[in-house]
Every structure is written in C-alpha cells, then in structure tokens.
Amino acid sequence: MNVMIIGSGGREHALAKKLAESPKCEKLYIAPGNGGTHNVGENLSLDISDFYAVAEKVSALKIDMLVVGPEAPLVEGIREYFEGSEEFQNLMIIGPGRLGATLEGSKDFAKEFMKRHGIPTAAYSTFQRGEADQAINFIKTLKSPYVLKADGLAAGKGVLILNGEDEACREIELMLEDGKFGAASSKVVIENFLDGIEMSTFAITDGEDYLLLPSAKDYKRIGEGDTGLNTGGMGAVSPVPFAHDEILKKIEEKVVAPTISGLKKDGIPYIGFLFFGLMIVDEEPFVIEYNVRMGDPETEVVLPRLKSDLLSHLQAAARGGLKSENLEVDDRFATTVMLVSGGYPESYEKGKKIEINLDPTENEILFHAGTKRRDQSLVTSGGRVISCTALAETLASALDKSFKLAEAVKFEGKVLRRDIGKDLLT
Ligand code: AMP
Ligand code: GLY
C-alpha cells in the first residue's frame, strides 16, 4: 500500500514511524512532514488546506490510504472533497467527514450528542450572540470556578477557567458580544467545573466496531506544577498508573461503547481515530472533550506501545473487518518530554540550530515536531520542537531515559518541564 500522512507534528512522526514498520507499507509520504519524518518516508511540500493540491499528489503517487493527522482538514471537509470525485472512490481515508468532525469542531454539538446518548459529562448550558444577559444570569447560579468554552475551534485557547464571578461575566461579554475568539465564540458553552484527574483514551473505529488504544495522560500547561499558559502539550505518559482495570472498564462501558453506538444511531459515518478527553471524578469517568484525531504528544507514547500492525488496523477500519483485528500492546511504560522554543506558547524565534549528542537506543525515540532541514543541518521551525520518548519496565526508568534524551538535544532557548510524570510516581 502507498500511504500519505497529512500533518507535520510529533504525532505525524510517530504515525509515520509506526506505519513504515508495517509489511503492508510500500511507499510512505508525509505532507508536509518535518525534519524527522524525512528519515522514515518522503516529505511532500504541500499546503494541506489546499485539497486540490493534495488530490494532485494522491493521484500522481497512486496513494491507497490517506491518514489525516490534525483536525482542521477534517472539519474543512477533506473526506467529502475526495468522496465527491469519481477518481478517488477506492482511496481509504482515515478521519471522519465534516459531520463526525463536528464532535471536535463544536463543543455545543458534542455536548448535545453526549446528552442524547447518556454519556457522562459536566452539566451545561449554551448561549449565543445576543444572549450575554442570560449567560450572566446563569453564571450567577453557579459556584466558582466557572468553565467557559468557545463553541468552535480556537487553537486550543477557547476554554477559560475563572475563579471570580465578575471576571467570568466580563469574559462572557467579550466572547459573545465582542468576538474574542472570532466566529468560534459566537456560541459559548458554560459548564460545571469537574474536580478530578485528567486522562485520555483513544479508539480506532469504522463507525460500528472499535479497537481501544492504550490510555495516556498529558501535561498541558507550560510551567512546572501545572502553571502558566496552556500549550499543545509538554509531555505525556502511558499507561496511566491510577487508571486501574475497573476504571478502564467503566470508560469503555460508559463512554467509548455508547459514543460509537451513538454515532451509529445518529447516522454519522465515522472512520478514523477518536480521542476521549476525560476527567475521573471519584473513580467515575466524565467526558470533557472529543477530538477527532490522535492527541499530540499522546501519540508519541501510545503508538510506541503498539506491537500489532497499525496499518492493518487502519485498513480494516476503512475496508471492514475491524472486528477480527487484534490489538497487541507492550506492557511497558512509555514517557515523552517535549522540548519547546523559548517563548512558546506565545511568540518565539525559529531557525535555531539543533544538535543531537547521542545515538538513541531501540527504546529511545526522538519524535520531531517543529524541526526542518536547512542545508545539511537541522533547525527549529515551530513552538514544539522535539518529543523525547522512552520505553521501560517502570515509569521512573522511562522518565529517566526521556530526561536523558532531553539533555542530549541542544538548541538555543530550549525549554522543557522537568516534572513530567513525577506526580504519578509513588
Ligand atoms: P478542552 O479544550 O475542552 O480540553 O479544555 C481544556 C482544559 O480545560 C482541559 O484539559 C481541562 O483541564 C479543563 N477543563 C475543561 N472542561 C472542564 C470542566 N468541566 N471542569 C474542569 N476542568 C475542565
Ligand atoms: N494533547 C492534547 C491534544 O492533542 O489535543
């Protein structure tokens, strides 16, 4: 099979590495890819929002499977674009169509879906432009902290958790009436604060059956001790030590299975990855968000633990037969520590030379994110630069190895969180 992966982050490098290992993989392309994917397949210089340009390459390179990494092309209808053309009727596409992608593209749609199918989530109300007064009255009935969510995609910045009632009321006006997040905040979901521990789990589905991938915990804030601004993710751990079998069983029964059957009942076709962002409160799972893709950096700890053939699983999702696929998972711990550019998640400089002073062993992997080749060298080209993944029998030794890798990669302004996974060590 010839495979094209869309995207350029650490997630796409991890997907590329895993798919390249499959005996079913002939040619592997990553569009646009990064300085690391270059070593596992061929990078294609493409604007991924230009579906016409993507389609030209899919045709010229005789691509059999298109794996869509990020959410934006899905929300923008990349599946419909290909399905609408005679030429691409046999193309396997990993990622849902527009309607399925709305589970991530609209918080209100996701909440309605959960309510309809009895999937545990925080109680909420949604308000539209022109309804700021009603929203403020609603806030006054709640207890602090207040959780305000812009309905649409807002580059990971659309969720505000505020302690003060006055501040929450002011923000509601900014979001609903002053377009703080543009069109994304023309609707706002206000929901109850859930006090618990966060974790995520992931499934591959064909809309009927699913394979449950290992769970993971990520670290979203820039600062140690979970302080400062939200980022795309500063590190991750899999498995999640507190998520014992009983919790995993509840997640599967109360969240994953009803979500897949809910998609079916609603007539929403869905082929691809589904990411369940969860809060565990008193040993009970609540969904805080759906994403219609894999997480980043969660993929960098989930896929290294997958022993079975990912390409075979994805082929079965696209063609049928997912039921007879068996997922095999490595029992060891995987950890990843993200190296980011100084200033991220706000403004930062690019083009810093990257030096890597070690040869990773089999159980140590550097997944590239914001890197690119310039002449013979490697330079930074984004906020998140390299994800340092390690596998080991214990969480502590996996973390040791990840931090050792993190030390061995050098570039000006490098920032990392040294407390990744430390809260989970007992
Ligand atoms: P989201 O973009 O929906 O993942 O939200 C961003 C972050 O806000 C999550 O990772 C949680 O840490 C936090 N969050 C979202 N919803 C809630 C909630 N209802 N209660 C507590 N924290 C929340
Ligand atoms: N790490 C969180 C995400 O990918 O959305």
What tens digit of pLDDT does each residue of 249-307 get?
999 999 999 999 999 999 999 999 999 999 999 999 999 999 999 999 999 999 999 99
What's the rounded mean pLDDT across residues 5-26? 98
Determine, yes or no, domain membership for 50: yes
> Are 84 and 16 in a shared domain?
yes
Residues with CB under 6 A from ligand 1: 122, 147, 159, 161, 191, 193-194, 198, 220, 277, 288-289
**pLDDT at residue 171 in the model:** 95
The residues near 375 (Cβ < 8 Å, ≥ 6 apart) are none
Q: Report the nearest-CA residue for atom 9 of ligand 1.
A: 288
Asked whether the predicted pLDDT for residue 336 surpasses 90, the reply is: yes
- Is the pLDDT confidence value at 366 over 90? yes
The structure tokens listed for 236 are 């991750």
For residues 67 and 139, state if they share a domain: no
Flag whether 398 is in a domain. Answer: no
pLDDT at 157 (0 to 100) = 83
Average pLDDT over residues 46-50: 96
Does a structural domain hold residue 85?
Answer: yes
The CATH code of the domain that includes 32 is 3.40.50.20
The enclosing H or E element of 161 equals strand 159-162
pLDDT of residue 105: 95
Instruction: Name the burial class of residue 390, with classes exposed (0-12), middle (13-18) and buried (19+) by CB atoms within 10 angstroms of its CB.
Output: buried
Compute the distance from residue 74 Cα to the ligand 2 centre, in Å. Answer: 16
pLDDT confidence band for 320 (50 / 70 / 90): confident
314, 65 Cβ separation under 8 angstroms? yes
CB of 71 closer than 6 angstroms to any ligand 2 atom: no
- Please, what is the average pLDDT of the chain? 96
299: CA distance to ligand 2 center in Å?
9
- If you average pLDDT over residues 356-380, what whole number do you get? 94
Buried b (16+ CB within 10 A) or exposed e, 288-305: bbbbbbbbbbbbbbbbbb
Question: Which of 108, 146, 159, 284 to mutate to test ligand 1, by most ligand atoms within 8 A of the CB atom?
Answer: 159
DSSP lists the bridge partners of residue 97 as none
Identify the pLDDT of residue 156.
78
Instruction: Give the pLDDT of residue 345.
Output: 94
Q: pLDDT tens, 144-195? A: 999 999 999 988 789 999 999 999 999 999 999 999 999 999 999 999 999 9
pLDDT at 155: 81
Average pLDDT over residues 422-426: 92
Q: What is the CATH number of the domain that holds 129?
A: 3.30.1490.20
Domain of residue 23 covers 2-97
pLDDT over 70 percentage in the chain:
100
Q: Between the CA of residue 240 and those of 233, 258, 280, 334, what are the distances in Å?
A: 16, 22, 12, 10
CA-nearest residue, atom 7 of ligand 1 = 159
Q: What is the mean pLDDT of residues 41-70?
A: 98
**How much is the pLDDT for 267?**
97
Q: Is the CB of 104 under 6 A from ligand 2?
A: no
Q: Considering its fold, how many domains does the chain have in total?
A: 2
348 pLDDT band, cuts 50/70/90, is: very high
Q: Residue 32: inside a domain, yes or no? A: yes
Note the pLDDT of residue 359. 85
> Per-residue pLDDT tens for 374-389?
988 999 999 999 999 9
| Residue 404: per-residue pLDDT | 96
- Whole-angstrom distance, CA of residue 80 vs CA of residue 281: 38
| Residue where a domain terminates, one of 172, 191, 210 | 191
pLDDT of residue 382: 97
Per-residue pLDDT, 114:
98
Q: Are both 86 and 132 inside the same structural domain? A: no
Band of residue 108 on the pLDDT scale cut at 50, 70, 90 = very high
Atom of ligand 2 nearest to the CA of 297: 1
Q: With beta carbons less than 8 A apart as the criterion, state whether 75 and 104 touch.
A: yes
Q: Does residue 166 belong to any structural domain of this protein?
A: yes
Considering only CA atoms, which residue is closest to atom 16 of ligand 1? 288
Burial of 195 (0-12, 13-18, 19+ CB in 10 A): exposed
At 370 the pLDDT is: 98
Identify which of 114, 74, 70, 81 has the alpha carbon closest to the alpha carbon of residue 98. 74
